[in-house]
Chain A
């Protein structure tokens, strides 16, 4: 049986674990403008990243964006997932496929769509001008708001699919019993649906949070030149800055922050669930 697992195991070990160890080692090296990299064992790259106000700002933007998008996605995704989970089966499979397609369409394609919608001559500005509501175009594109909307559109299908499969497993009878016993719709939600769906909510939020922390295409294309998130910052260090040790340190800071917050969030929400 191990022989069946071994090939896949070796591929992941060789192409993920090995390179990650190498990247960790590189993050301890020293940058040299002339030689690119000098072998060393120093935490200087991490210290530089943490102490530099610019990168602190980038991290702050990333965290804020990830938290805000996760919260909004949950707020919008939960009712949508509930509705999907409680649909008749014929409609349900149609809507599920409809949810899967955008998930597979790719972030670059969707960013292109937002550029057409939010641009200065884009659909929204042109419509508002056509209606005589504005004379000057609103600055919609290249704003943090554009990145947030673009990101939410990317992660919503993940949230809806994760949540709806959990909500589906909650028997309708439980809700009906609560309602028959006099609970209002809000109480049924608060005391029955929400607690029972909490494991799915945690799973969905963790998944979405990770995706938001690592937003690349949406941030680059919709955020404009002043807007910077961590994933593009990592890329810049490798491609343009050629400062590999610093880029590696940034990559691990991003990874560590994501892991730490997801573990923390799961533990906190999980404890509430246990109680």
Chain B
């Protein structure tokens, strides 16, 4: 032990609980935690609160509280249709991306594949490329393909779902890989040694073990696709707009309780999905 640390030990208050520096440190750490979560949650709480304000323009203090903006929001065609469009896109993209991503993750973790690292980086690349750049590239690609094929792609359901599969595949690969890597191979080997065919091993052992990873992947994929703005921004069109894009165009002109109601509905949906998933899979263990 060095002399310096010996001498600092000597100056530390002995047997009087934690020293002042430790207590100050703990206080600072707790303060940072509180401040961090305050910043993260302030806008969310704000949105929820203003959705109940009984006046057109958001001013404080509110004149009263009401539910009517929720009905008003649903009556606005842009929001209702945006919601349904986003729902369709996210569901379809999840239904396509999760099986593809799970298959790839399974092969990457359990198969002896050369260049595994490169393939996995490649499959995760859509998350690393800035969404606005990928969206511009897809926009150009769709316009070019429309010329060649003489077919509408931009602002069609098919075009938007295809784009969103670029979100659901990497999220699935990431989460299923993470949940698979933590699993023991012994059970599968035991089943195989006891005479189970590979397909039976997969169906009876691997798949049940994979289930938490797949559930988490499906949830994240759905939500990530539902709330995505940047990738879809150039791919939507009049008549087919996603909810985040509809909200953005609305907010560029005004912020009012109707929009807050739409946003609150989205917050509620995400929260419920997260809590439900957390009952099946401990999210804190997967992410």
Contact = CB atoms under 8 A, between A and B. Distances in A.
A2 B107 contact: yes
Contact of A76 (B36, B47, B283): B36
B129 interface: yes
A12 B122 contact: yes
A157 B132 contact: no
Contacts of B25: 185-186, 189
B104 A117 contact: no
B37 A98 contact: yes
A214 B227 contact: no
B266 A105 contact: yes
A40 interface: no
Interface string A12-49: 10011011101100100000000000000000000000
Q: Is the interface of B mostly helix, strand, loop or mixed?
A: helix
Contacts of A26: 140
A4 B59 CA distance: 56
A101 B275 CA distance: 9
A57 interface: no
A23 B136 contact: yes
B130 A8 contact: no
B78 interface: no
A144 interface: no
A8 B9 contact: no
Given A96-B283, A109-B247, A16 B126 contact: yes
Given A108-B247, A123-B60, A116 B138 contact: no
Contacts of B46: 113-114, 116-117, 123
Contacts of A160: 36
Given A5-B107, A113-B43, A153-B42, A161 B136 contact: no
A80 B29 CA distance: 6
Contacts of A109: 43-44, 47, 227, 247, 263, 266-267
Nearest to B110: A1
A250 to B, nearest CB: 9
A104 B141 CA distance: 28
A34 to B, nearest CB: 18
A121 B58 contact: yes
B68 to A, nearest CB: 18
Contacts of B136: 23, 234-235, 238, 247-248, 251
Given A102-B40, A112-B260, A121 B33 contact: no
B140 A244 contact: yes
Contact of A112 (B22, B101, B223, B255): B255
B148 to A, nearest CB: 12
A199 interface: no
Interface of A: 1-2, 4-5, 7-9, 11-12, 15-16, 18-20, 22-23, 26, 76-80, 82-84, 92-93, 96-102, 104-117, 119, 121-123, 126-127, 130, 149-150, 152-153, 156-157, 160-161, 179, 181-187, 189, 210, 213-214, 216-217, 220-221, 231, 234-235, 238-239, 244, 247-248, 251-252, 254-255, 258
Interface of B: 1, 5-6, 8-10, 12, 19, 21-22, 24-26, 28-30, 32-33, 35-37, 39-47, 49-50, 57-61, 100-101, 103-104, 106-108, 111-113, 119, 122-123, 125-126, 128-134, 136-141, 144, 162-163, 165-166, 169-170, 173, 220, 223-224, 227, 229-230, 233-234, 244, 247-248, 251-252, 255, 259-260, 263, 266-267, 270-271, 274-275, 278, 282-284, 287
20 contacts: A4-B107, A8-B101, A19-B134, A80-B32, A100-B287, A101-B274, A102-B40, A108-B227, A113-B43, A119-B255, A126-B61, A152-B39, A181-B1, A182-B1, A182-B6, A182-B8, A184-B22, A214-B230, A216-B229, A239-B234
